Structure 1
Amino acid sequence: MRKEDKGNIIAQLGEVLNEYAHFYLVDVTGLNAATTSAMRRKCFQSEIKMVVVKNTLLHKALEAAETDYTPLYDCLKGTTAVLFANTANAPAKLLKDFTKDGMPALKAAYAEEGFYVGADQLEALTAIKSKDEVIAEIVALLQSPAKNVLSALQSGGNTIHGVLKTLGERPE
């Protein structure tokens, strides 16, 4: 590969790093073509960009980035694929489905401005809530008291009506 081509690839990786808020480094050493193709298909459906890169080129792209990615440098060994996503837990959920078969393994991740190194961090990454999930929880919490008040008012009206009806029907 020519030096100019390497420079272009490093620049493209830098652009993708800036475009996506989160990324995962995955070991795809033992994947066959069919499994890799299935994984790419799942990534596309989940709006995750999967890129298989040379470790040295990714290392240089990470060094050139504005954020300090030094905790990830030790993980750049073997065959590495990078999963880029705008939702922090989307790649973790995808990997959790695929790791049931034992492959691919998580090397490290940069999610929610934090570093997660090692395959044992997958559970912590799947537990991260996305922005949409947090907003949905907040809306549900805000709606709950209003629903309780409306429910109490509606049931209270029926109770009072029932009491009045019973009193009205009672012989004196």
Structure 2
Amino acid sequence: MDRAQKREFVDQLAAVFAETSMIVITRNDGLTVADVTELRRRMRAAGAQYKVAKNRLAHLALEGTRFDGIAPLLKGPTALAWSRDPVAVAKTAVEFAKTNEKFVLVGGALGTQMLDASGVKALAELPSLDALRARLVGLIQAPATRIACVVQAPAGQLARVFAAFAKTGEAA
């Protein structure tokens, strides 16, 4: 890359750091092209991005951002993954690390909170944003269905009592 391309790459990466909420740093020593392609496909499906970046350029892009605390983690053959949904990127990276031993989680950052590899794994165990929304809607709907059942129950009981009286009246 020439200087103009490097400057453009640093600007793009700085823009990503400004708008994202979660960054995961990985070490990808010895991944094949097929492995990286599969990882990128999984990341895209989860709404995340995965990019191999030169450490020096990543350091320049990190300066002055809320993620500047992850700069010491950028040593060796590293790559960055990011997403607006913090659970999605962590979950995808952890799942891929389980199936490929050459892919190692180094750490990451959630906003200004720096995470080590175990912190990223703990974040991956949380339900996704969509799952949390579904649970919330379920909790909101549950009382309404319970109220409807309670309101209908006395009417159903009265109908059964009237039916029983009608049967005894017919028998007599």
- TM-score, normalization by structure 2: 0.85
Of 153, 156, 168, the residue aligned with 1:155 is: 153
Give the gaps of 5 or more residues in structure 2: none
1:111 aligns with 2:94: no
Separation in 1, partners of 2:35, 2:152: 56
Task: Give unmatched runs, 5+ long, in structure 1.
Answer: none
Q: How do residues 62-77 of structure 1 correspond to structure 2 at under 5 angstroms? A: 62-65=62-65, 67=66, 69-70=68-69, 72-77=70-75
Instruction: Answer whether contact 2:97 2:104 (CA < 8 A) is retained.
Output: yes
In 1: Cα distance, 2:67 partner to 2:52 partner: 22
CA distance in 1, matches of 2:41, 2:128: 22
Using a 3 Å threshold, how does the CA distance of structure 1 residues 14 and 160 change in structure 2: closer, same or farther? Answer: same
* Cα distance in 1 for residues equivalent to 2:3 and 2:18: 23
The one-character-per-residue Cα deviations of 1:48-89 (angstroms, maximum 9, x if unpaired) are 111100111111211132x2522x122111111111211111
Task: Indicate conservation of the 8 Å contact 1:88/1:128, yes or no.
Answer: no
Taking every aligned residue pair, what percent have the same amino acid on both sides? 25
Contact 2:23 2:82 in 1 (8 A): yes
Inter-partner Cα distance in structure 1 for 2:24 and 2:14: 15
Letter in 1 for 2:71: Y
Quick one: distance in 2 between partners of 1:68 and 1:42? 24
Q: With structure 1 as the length reference, what TM-score do the two structures score?
A: 0.85
> Which residue does 1:168 correspond to in 2?
166
Aligned length: 169
